[in-house]
Chains A and B, each alone.
Chain A
Amino acid sequence: MLTQAKEVELREFARQIRIHTIRQIGLRGFGHIGGCMSIADLLSVLYGDQLKHDPKDPQWAERDWLVCSKGHAGPAIYAALALRGFFPMEWLETLNQPGTNLPSHCDRKKTPGIDMTTGSLGQGLSIACGVAQAHLLNGKSNTIYCIMGDGESQEGQNWEAVIYAAQQRLGNLILFVDDNQAQIDGYVRQIGQMESYADKFRSFHWDVADVDGHDLSAMHDAILRAKSITGVPSAIVLHTVKGQGCTFALRSWCHHMAVSKEDMEEALRALNA
């Protein structure tokens, strides 16, 4: 259980992540706002509590890893990383500007703290499996986290990796499925109905939890539980709202959208209220 004080701290961290994500995208005028907002609370729990990291040494050998397979959620991670001190806050104003270190999709060669390059959907979990396996082979106890989008789960490679992770008993791997129910062209149920993620992962012999992806305490507890389970990989299905906490995104189809100055200011006012 999170203490009340820690929960307050993480709630504030999540608010800051949202503010700085909306600012990045708002200043640029367009971006993947919806899927950034849906994982903002998860990022707060990870970078505010559970994910071992050192902003002064992004390559620290003892760190936990985050492979964000839905690479278009980069801006939300950049906000978390900047707030934690991986790079100056001013960098956030360079999102998608020529020569930036903060491209729309995660790039480990450009951004301090980004552990893996992702963008062509469906590839992150395989890489996370390799990272997890290497740590196990080296006798290390680092936890390897991966975030997969629900639309992204339609890519077949994910399920190759699901088989592999179970077969290799990658107990240090924790996968979050961001079940925000929407993809670019419509609702996931209209395009490629996935039914129950929990049932799917269970059938592949994964440990599974289903939690509200905006409940900080529930996510915290689910991560602790997953860490305590050895010998099998864990999937934590996050039931989320695409665009959560962002006024203009919540009233729009928000996977990727144009964002006006007025939109940005309205959303920031609401978050600052």
Chain B
Amino acid sequence: MGYQTVEKIVMESAGLSETYFHTMMRLMGENPDVMELEADLGVCILGGGYKEMEETYPGQLFNCGIQEANMVGVACGLSAVGKVPFCHTFSPFLARRANDQIFISACYAGANIRLVGSDPGVMAAFNGGTHMPFEDVAAVRAFPGLTIVEPTDSAMLVNLLEQLVTLKGVYYLRMARKPMAKIYQDGSTFTIGKGCVIREGSDATIVASGLMVADAVEAADMLAAQGLHARVVDMFTIKPIDGELLTACARETGAVVTAENHNVIGGLGSAVCEVLSSTCPVPVERVGVQDRFGEVGPIDYLKETLGLTPAAIAEAVKRAVARK
């Protein structure tokens, strides 16, 4: 058991939405209490499979309509009677729109629900700034008891979904719908709350999540060509963050760079600094969105415009190392 990385990183042929659909179909078949709640974005994540899921498991898929706050409340009620609801919508419509419901009805009331927020950050692409959350992690990270996971690729998504069926509590799954770079071999397993060291290195540590993991590896490759050896950590659990691993990395490499598809305020970078400021205060540079709104555009354009690139990460590593 555990995870194994692939030898060569390539883009996956299918989107995470396809992985989500097929995995949920299996999990719904295995456990009739597993439910999928949608707020009228069902076809966006289930695609053509929406009808198949509805017909195969008629009491397990419900479209609440365009009412995210109610959807979260309904899920909390369902979970109080033992159901296992997954609520999906675009991530801003969960973390922003249903924020108080996630706090009171879910976290404070001790519900067991899974919040699936799709298209985080630049993944919203042509839906533009209104739909492009760089603040969703920040908006829910201070909710006691809430866990935030950001799957890196399809192998991780499958394993996380399998775990979420039996885990108790409130989980925010921040996931892309589009194809991701394949980092892990199929069948890999992951421990929520434990980061994954996917590249060894001794000069600095790049701590990345989601979309930025592959870019972190590419940045490490660029730096290696220049004689700098960066360790890469996939910190797919943003809360509770793996403070033990972060502290060890800071001690062993002396400099840390974070890379996230999110505002540098309140997300992964902040979480890393919160840990290291008290355990091992080494130089930290945060690559992410510099407190600004999103805009319409293709993902590559947005990443370039917002500074979410391998080159930006590599430059940040050099700055962090220079500050040692």
In the bound assembly, the distance between CA atoms of A156 and B69 in angstroms comes to 9
How many chain B residues have a CB neighbour from A under 8 Å?
Answer: 28
Residue A160 CB within 8 A of the other chain:
yes
Contact status A120-B67, CB under 8 Å: no
In the bound assembly, the distance between CA atoms of A195 and B104 in angstroms comes to 29
Q: Tell me which of B59, B70, B100, B110 contacts A129 (CB under 8 A).
A: B70
Residue A161 CB within 8 A of the other chain:
yes
Contact status A134-B69, CB under 8 Å: no
Q: Quick one: which of A148-183 are within 8 Å of B by CB?
A: 156-157, 160-161, 163-164, 167-168
Residue B75 CB within 8 A of the other chain:
yes
* Chain B residue nearest in CB terms to A138: B81
In the bound assembly, the distance between CA atoms of A126 and B37 in angstroms comes to 13
In the bound assembly, the distance between CA atoms of A108 and B62 in angstroms comes to 26
Q: Tell me which of B74, B82, B85, B103 contacts A126 (CB under 8 A).
A: B74
Residue B83 CB within 8 A of the other chain:
yes
Main SS of the interface on chain B?
Answer: helix
Given contacts A109-B109, A117-B109, A157-B73, contact A134 B82 (CB under 8 A): yes
Contact status B67-A164, CB under 8 Å: yes
How many chain A residues have a CB neighbour from B under 8 Å?
Answer: 32
Contact status B73-A123, CB under 8 Å: yes
- In the complex, which residues of chain B have a beta carbon less than 8 angstroms from the beta carbon of A138? 81
Q: Quick one: which of A85-139 are within 8 Å of B by CB?
A: 107-109, 115-120, 123, 125-135, 137-138
Given contacts A109-B109, A138-B81, contact A126 B65 (CB under 8 A): no
Given contacts A109-B109, A157-B70, A157-B101, contact A133 B64 (CB under 8 A): no
Q: Tell me which of A108, A123, A127, A167 contacts B65 (CB under 8 A).
A: A167
Contact status B70-A160, CB under 8 Å: yes
Contact status B81-A161, CB under 8 Å: no
Task: Fill in one digit per residue for B256-281: 1 if any A CB lies within 8 Å of its CB, else 0.
Answer: 00000000000000000000000000
Residues of chain B touching chain A, judged by Cβ–Cβ distance below 8 Å, are: 59, 62, 64-65, 67, 69-70, 72-83, 85, 100-101, 103-105, 108-110
Q: Considering the complex of A and B, which 6 residue pairs feature the smallest CB-CB distances, nearest first? A: A130-B77, A126-B73, A134-B81, A117-B109, A160-B70, A160-B67
